[in-house]
A = this chain, B = another copy of it.
């Protein structure tokens, strides 16, 4: 085996390695997300990372088409299939569309599925973008039709997750692309302006009002119309005020009816009022969305961007199947969310171990006794590591400190003889003498 230059061992830009502490924090985050997805009835569906390039290309649009990774064997055996027909997924939606197209007969619709897994995109590694990241999605897909109550349930699921995560107040911003299109149409009769102006509006928060105005004028809007439109989109109003305004200015518009149905559903599903709002400026980049669109912000951390986004689409499996499959979904970019929450100090990633207790082993011959302590703790749901190296006690305690265990259990000969243990709180240094029988209760 050859030695290898040190810089080759460093992380590759865009492909993050999480420390044990970060991974533990990630798993806690995923546990909450997964529990909410499951308890609402979204079934997990595990599709491979690898898809055919033709499948990915048939449903990709915009810059993503330049970001698809293909696979090839680096050192193929002679005569081996080369891997030119393989590529890596860049989202969970295309694998879902393929699954529905190939399994439509067995599926009971509406089909609710969750997908938690890695996706890969060959983005330029700037702006802290990741090329490999974990994405946690749910979608519900109907055969031919799908009630707007499903859009409402997406909002309820997001609200449930971020309430439980306790990372501060958040607002789910809701819009409908048909409403936004109607507003744009109101300001210019040129239908061709709708799609590009949505893309401009999508970047409003990033680039600011003035630049957006300039871009819209350049696109072909009268400046006064562009100004009026922006004013309408960004004015702060209550939900009732916004709905009243829309009913007045866009009478009979289908998007307004959809938006109202979704909002009624959200209320019926009991989502607290402070967790959601209408935001007419939400556009989402993809042309793919055709109705409801959602974004979620932490009120105290707008700089984090949207932490859970999604929307409604008319036809999931177009290009793959003749039948029409409308759906609605949301996606949480877990890797980005995790690392930003850690950086913002909103979640803790300090402890380098999942265990609560290090059981030190001061007397080597008492291993079965120490093991019994471990067994009792584990049976009670308390994870416990048994120190197995033959080292002096002070080295064992230094190990416990460095790794961030909350507690260390100490039982030297004199304690073993009396059937007691010392439990040391490693954060405070406090020690407590416990009978072996009381140990589990105390830690719990």
Q: Is A27 an interface residue (CB 8 A)?
A: yes
Which B residues touch A26, using CB under 8 A?
A: 46
CB distance from A264 to the nearest CB of B (A): 10
Instruction: Name the interface residues of A71-95: CB closer than 8 Å to any CB of B.
Output: 71-77, 80-81, 83, 85-88, 95
Report the Cα distance A72→B201, complex, angstroms. Answer: 33
Q: Is A24 an interface residue (CB 8 A)?
A: yes
> How extensive is the interface on chain A, given as a class?
35 or more
Which B residues touch A389, using CB under 8 A?
A: 110, 142, 145-147, 149
Report the Cα distance A116→B118, complex, angstroms. Answer: 13
Report the Cα distance A412→B260, complex, angstroms. Answer: 26
Among listed A187-195, A302-310, A378-386, A430-438, interface-contacting one: A378-386
CB distance from A369 to the nearest CB of B (A): 10
Which B residues touch A49, using CB under 8 A?
A: 15, 49, 118, 120, 132
Which B residues touch A57, using CB under 8 A?
A: 74
Report the Cα distance A368→B72, complex, angstroms. Answer: 54
Copies of this protein in the complex: 2
Report the Cα distance A320→B150, complex, angstroms. Answer: 52
Cβ-defined contact, B54 with A4, below 8 A: yes
Given A9-B55, A27-B44, verify A73-B68 contact (CB < 8 Å): yes
Cβ-defined contact, A102 with B10, below 8 A: yes
Residue pairs across A and B with Cβ atoms less than 8 A apart, 12 shown, are A1-B319, A17-B48, A38-B383, A39-B378, A41-B386, A50-B131, A66-B77, A70-B72, A108-B403, A109-B399, A153-B388, A270-B375
Cβ-defined contact, A353 with B43, below 8 A: yes
The answer, among B16, B50, B120, for a CB contact under 8 Å with A12, is: B50
Q: Is A23 an interface residue (CB 8 A)?
A: yes
Instruction: Name the interface residues of A379-419: CB closer than 8 Å to any CB of B.
Output: 381-386, 388-390, 399, 402-403
Cβ-defined contact, B385 with A8, below 8 A: no
Which B residues touch A368, using CB under 8 A?
A: 268, 270
Cβ-defined contact, B75 with A68, below 8 A: yes
